[in-house]
Structure 1
Amino acid sequence: MMLADLPIARYRLTARWRAPVRLPDYAGSLLRGQFGAALRHVACMTRQPSCGGCPLQSTCPYTRIFEAVPPPAHALQNFSAIPNAYVIEPPPLGAMDSAAGEELVFHMVLAGAAREQLALVLFAWQRALAQGLTRQRVPADLMQVDWIDAQQQAHAVWKADEPMLLDHPALLAVPPAPPSIQALVLQIHSPMRLQQQGKPLRPQQLGARTLLATLARRVALVLEFHAGQTQWGEQVPQVAALAAQVQDERELHWHDWTRFSSRQQQEMTLGGVLGRWTLSAPGETLAELWPWLWLGQWLHVGKNATMGMGGYSLEALA
């Protein structure tokens, strides 16, 4: 596998509120919904009520970013849905009150060909924020966008007063695994919802194999379908096999949050685990798992990853 120059980029978006606002406990669904509506409005050329049956569906920037179309056939299985090429990372958990003039800061990850649509993505965000967030439709102005590199350093690529998108690598290199690893620790900061047969798994039902198999499958599919890198998929069975060597210690708790579904016109409760998840194994095993777990910090894992669920930071213990 190529661990350098992976086509994955994270951006920090900074906006300024025009009026006082209260964001919900978890704003991922809110941000995703407004962004998706704005992106469809600016990208759709046919103005059909739905994307199904549209003659431009396979080439439209909206579907390629927000509603990825599965291939008609695949060597592994027939897919009814595939992962999308983006992740929206909302502000940290907890309802947030902001006054007019205060900042809203959140992140967005783009993978593969979606990175080439960054100008369109930012234009859609400008429109989404200007139209307003929450049921009160409180508007905000996008002020600055920074590319965040693998060392978490920020590089300004766009400013409202200088609206020329600056060139930047928009690539990610996985660092080598630290020497003498004895454990890898996931600090889960947004609800991680791992499922089995469509049902969410509570902390006591989780295990290392479920985590690693779900993560490896997601990483492999994102890189295959959006970047043409099939070599990751070839390694997924090996990752699942390595999980048998992993012992895990879970200090997790369940966190529910409620969102309003515009499609279903009702409140919906979603939840997932938060906390600390420690994976212990022989050093060579952890070194092989390292790239997958490290990339999970960008791509997230589990249900509703596109709205920022399943986010974590990774720490290596020597």
Structure 2
Amino acid sequence: MDFNLAHLVLTLRTADPADCLARLFGGRAAFEAAFRDLACCRAGRECRACDCRCDCPYWRVFGQELAVDPEIVRRHQKPGVPFAFRLPLPTAAVKSDRCEAGLVLVGPAVELAPLFCRALDRLLADGGGGTRIELVCSQDYQGRSNPLAPDGRGWDCAGLVVMSAAAVRLLGQCYAERLRITLETPLKLVNSGRELRVFDPSLFCRTVIRRVSSLAAYYGEEGEGEEFRRLAEQARGVRLIAGNFVCGAPSGLSARYGGMSGHGLLGGGVGELAELLRLGMLFNLGKGAAFGLGRYRVEPEGGST
């Protein structure tokens, strides 16, 4: 299993960090509209009827076209979009003239990094208050930040660090029997058509496996299905040893941002699942994952790797 990815960290200059983050958090429509305005060469035409869609950056990112291979469709259905914003809760923003937002790009989205930055700049500018991107950094495998230079139209991404998901996964290996998990933003998981209100560790792990394998199938190389079946079976044995989780919207946010939040300790056969769970942190999980919902963190108990 492998696919390309890039991890950007954007420093935003703003008079109101909470308002700035709220424009992105959990909402797709405004960013998608800004991206389309910049990318579309046939404004007003329905995308599926447009003869330019195969080369259109907007369609490549937001088209979510089903695979030609029926087996991929059977296993994964419609793909997720090839990016995820990693955002703090707007209500947790510190009063300052700056805030940070992470952006992880996958597969075809990697080469469109400048367009993502321009679309975000447009979205922020439309909100008024002089909000803008002040600095864009590209993170490497060790988490070091490499600043990208502005080029007049946005950001010169010649220095963008393109990473391999397989290598990131390998670096995430750890040898702890237990993992600490923190749901940093509300997690919305659906099972049998219903949104879960109680944290299910086994379902959580299986959902991470499905998310990562779907990204690989649609935007890279999926690898051996047998491996994911084995990991999914292993995930059934994961249990919650201790935890404090709540379901609902964080204080100050509307009910549509509701989900599970909290922290706990996972055990019962975490094993090699740990490296996949750590890779999955980059992409968030569940409904609204592309725009900051379902951000989580896992780490070995005691911090050992």
Q: Shorter-chain-normalised TM-score: which range?
A: 0.7 to 0.9
- How many positions carry a matched residue from both structures? 295
Report the secondary structure of 2:297's partner residue.
strand
**How far off is 1:50 after superposition?**
4.0
Specify the SS of the correspondent of 2:123. Answer: helix
SS at 1:186's partner residue? Answer: strand
Give the drift of 1:237: 1.8
The more displaced of 307-316 and 148-157 is: 148-157
Q: What's the TM-score once normalised by structure 1's chain length?
A: 0.81
Equivalent residue for 1:270, pick from 257, 274, 291: 257
Secondary structure at the aligned position of 2:249 is classed as strand
Give me the whole-angstrom Cα distance separating, in 1, the residues matched to 2:286 and 2:89. Answer: 18
Matched, 1:64 2:57: no
2:143 matched to 1:152?
Answer: yes
Instruction: Kindly indicate which of the two structures has a greater share of residues assigned to helix.
Output: 2
Structure 2 Cα separation of the partners of residues 40 and 74 of structure 1 = 29
Give the Cα separation in 2 of the matches to 1:24 and 1:12: 15
Match of 1:23, SS state, is: helix
SS at match of 1:217: helix
In structure 2, list runs of 5 or more residues that go unmatched: none
Determine whether 1:198 maps to 2:182: no
Query: AA paired with 2:145?
Result: A
For residues 31 and 251 of structure 2, the distance between their equivalents in structure 1, rounded to whole angstroms, comes to 19
Partner of 2:132: 141
CA distance in 2, matches of 1:274, 1:7: 30
Q: Is the 8 A contact 1:14 1:103 kept in 2?
A: yes
Residue 248 of structure 2 is aligned with which of 231, 255, 268?
255
Cα drift, residue 46 of structure 1: 1.0
- Does the Cα contact within 8 Å between 1:257 and 1:269 map onto a contact in 2? no
User: 1: CA distance between counterparts of 2:101 and 2:140?
Assistant: 15
**2:228 is the counterpart of 1:236:** yes
1:191 partner letter: P
Q: Return the offset for 1:189.
A: 0.3
**Which amino acid counterpart does residue 252 of structure 1 have in structure 2?**
F
Query: Which residue pairs with 2:156 in the alignment?
Result: 164
Deviations 1:53-102 (A, max 9, x none): 32233332112223422224421445662111000122334165857xx1
Aligned counterparts of 1:165 and 1:24: Cα–Cα separation in 2: 24
Question: Relative contact order: is structure 1 or structure 2 higher (C-alpha 8 Å, sep ≥ 6)?
Answer: 2
Other-structure match for 1:207: 200
AA matched with 2:53: Q
Q: Provide the C-alpha distance between the structure 2 equivalents of 1:158 and 1:25, rounded to a whole number of angstroms.
A: 23
SS of the residue 2:55 aligns to: coil
Q: Judging changes above 3 Å, is the alpha-carbon distance between structure 1 residues 275 and 158 closer, same or farther for their aligned structure 2 residues? A: farther
Contact persistence 2:114–2:155 (CA under 8 A): no
In the aligned structure 2, how far is the partner of 1:255 from the partner of 1:150? 35
Match of 1:264 in 2: none
For residue 38 of structure 2, the aligned residue among 42, 67, 86 is 42
AA at the equivalent of 1:256: A
Q: Report if aligned partners of 2:238, 2:268 keep a CA contact under 8 Å in 1.
A: yes
- Measured in 1, the distance between the counterparts of 2:98 and 2:190 equals 35
CA RMSD of aligned residues (A): 3.0
Match of 2:276 in 1: 292
